[in-house]
Amino acid sequence: MASLVGAFAASHGPLIVREWDAVPQNEKSRMSTAFRELGRRLSAAQPDVLIVVSPDHWSNFFLDNYPAVCIGVGGENEGPPEPWMKAFPHRTIAGHPGLAMHLAREAMRQGFEPALSHRLKLDHGICIPLWRMELERLPKIVPLLLNSIEPPMPSLRRCFEWGGLLRKSIESYAEPLRVAILATGGLSHSIGEPTMGTILEDFDRETIRLFNRPHDELVHFLEAKLPASGNGSEEVRNWLVAHGAAGGRGFELVDYLPVPKVIVGCGFASWRV
């Protein structure tokens, strides 16, 4: 049977690439160290497949049809479409249709009902962390695109439940695959709003603290605070999926630092699975 061998999270703000040269050296160094540490831990877990939980930043979906959750079930997906991601070293990225379809079937069976796509563009949300983690070998990637961009979004509780569903589904997959989960995005930031540029360090630190408390406390806090904490902060939903997969047992914070040049409270975490 397959097993869950790791769950991780990392921020993915575009300015981590576009404004990298302008980031102060000490912040650059801490971010690089944190990304590499996640890469080291991920590699040590030797995953055959990595499920990456990220929003679609209008790369695949539009108002015509914007799914709450979409699983990429194709054998191959495309690299990032953003012109400023041209240097990302993979133009196509292998998927794992077997596991992805199993996840989709199990989800349907449990009443979760995701959308499916046989070919996705994997935008910066997925590819910046993969790039910055400096992985020697890219595992097969199963994208799970979770809407944290266009309201209304899946509830925080449902995101946590998605994590539990993923774990059960992984563990019921017949092939002996090693599977890891990477949640990307967050922590606090604001995009295209009057508050753009604001990082809420207190909110971030409390969120981080509560990831090590019973998940009801975390969800309750986020339900109250998230609506006024910047639209980019909604991406913490992806972290909740990883948290749910890890059984809500809490994570080790690899690092957290607010980085004004990339306008994101940058967080890096590794769960106890």
Partner 1 sequence: MRDYWLSKLFFDLQSPALAAEFRAERDKVLARYPLDERVKQALAENDAPFLAARTNAYLLRYYFFTLGMKDEEFIRRLNHG
Binding site for partner 1 (CB under 8 A): 57-59, 62-63, 81-83, 149-150, 191-194, 196-197, 231, 263
Distance of CA 226 to CAs 29, 148, 187, Å? 29, 12, 11
Task: Look up residue 143 and give its two tokens.
Answer: 């994208």
Distance separating alpha carbons of residues 28 and 21, to the nearest angstrom: 9
Q: Least CB distance from residue 196 to partner 1, whole Å?
A: 5
**Rounded to the nearest whole angstrom, what is the least distance from the CB of residue 59 to partner 1 in the complex?**
8
- Size (the chain), residues: 273
In the complex with partner 1, which residue's Cβ is closer, 196 or 228? 196
CA proximity to 183, closest of 78, 42, 75, 68? 42
CB nearer to partner 1: pick between 150 and 206: 150
DSSP letter for each residue of 173-235: -SS--EEEEEEE--SS--SSSTTTT---HHHHHHHHHHTTS-HHHHHHHHHHHGGGS-GGGGG
Query: Considering the complex, what minimum distance in angstroms separates the CB of residue 197 from partner 1?
Result: 6
The nearer residue to partner 1, 35 or 88, going by C-beta atoms, is 88
| CB of 81 or CB of 164, closer to partner 1 | 81
State phi, psi for 232 to the nearest 5 degrees.
Answer: -65, -25
Contact 184, 237 (CB under 8 A): no
Pairing of strands 251-259, 264-271: antiparallel
CB of 14 to partner 1, least distance (A): 9
Closest to partner 1 by CB, 84 vs 175, is: 84
Query: Could you tell me the smallest distance in angstroms from the CB atom of residue 148 to partner 1?
Result: 10
Which is nearest to 263 in space by CA: 207, 155, 186, 205?
Answer: 186
CB of 39 to partner 1, least distance (A): 27
Q: Which is nearer to partner 1, 195 or 212 (CB)?
A: 195
CB of 66 to partner 1, least distance (A): 9
- What CA–CA distance (Å, rounded) separates 271 from 112? 24
Residue closer to partner 1, measured from CB, 151 or 176: 151
What is the distance of C-alpha 236 from the center of its chain?
8
